[in-house]
Amino acid sequence: MKRLQLISIGELDGIVLEGLAVELANHFAIPCEVLPHTIDPSFAFHGERRQYHSSKILAELGQFVRPHTWRILGVTGTDLYIPILTFVFGEAQMGGPGSVVSYYRLRQEFYGLPGDGDLLRERLLKEAVHELGHTLDLTHCDDYRCAMSASHSVELIDLKENAFCSNCAERVLSMTQME
């Protein structure tokens, strides 16, 4: 049976992948496992930007894809970027198996506010669902409440839900039935 796999990208600061795995397994109705590996992201570090190139990390995830892999999600606490943007919360291979999400800018502490573990876990789940949606060929949705709405700021992430709107959910259902 196919599985959603989670893998740590670097050391995770207080984030428990097992909890995220349970949430994602329930959300996508598919078994989910945490791989016992950690990818050292140092190869993707850009010295001038002081950030990590998410596309390079995505490419690295490919070595962990197996025949039983449904999708693989890398989770990191590092600050991610792609060259055309200042930062990204995550990136995914459209229609492919890999996605990565960072909680670096999802933390309240990044904005000078007291930490909030529950809010961080909620934001991380929303972004994980969003990036996994891209692996199912979903593009950004105009419904601001949908998990597939664009995420340019934490305020927009807080507005949306961790679930797909009915249109996106229908597309996910048709995609998963074809696999």
Rounded Cα–Cα distance for residues 125 and 96 (Å): 20
Rounded Cα–Cα distance for residues 77 and 103 (Å): 5
Which residues form the catalytic set?
A: 131
User: Residue 170's CB: how many other CB atoms inside 10 A?
Assistant: 11
- Name, in order, each residue with C-beta under 8 angstroms of 179's C-beta and a sequence gap of 6 or more: 2, 70
Q: 97, 131 in Cβ contact below 8 A?
A: no
**Partner residues linked to 148 by β-bridges:** none
Residue 106's nearest CA partner among 96, 115, 97, 95 is 115
Rounded Cα–Cα distance for residues 112 and 142 (Å): 30
What one-character DSSP code corresponds to residue 63?
G
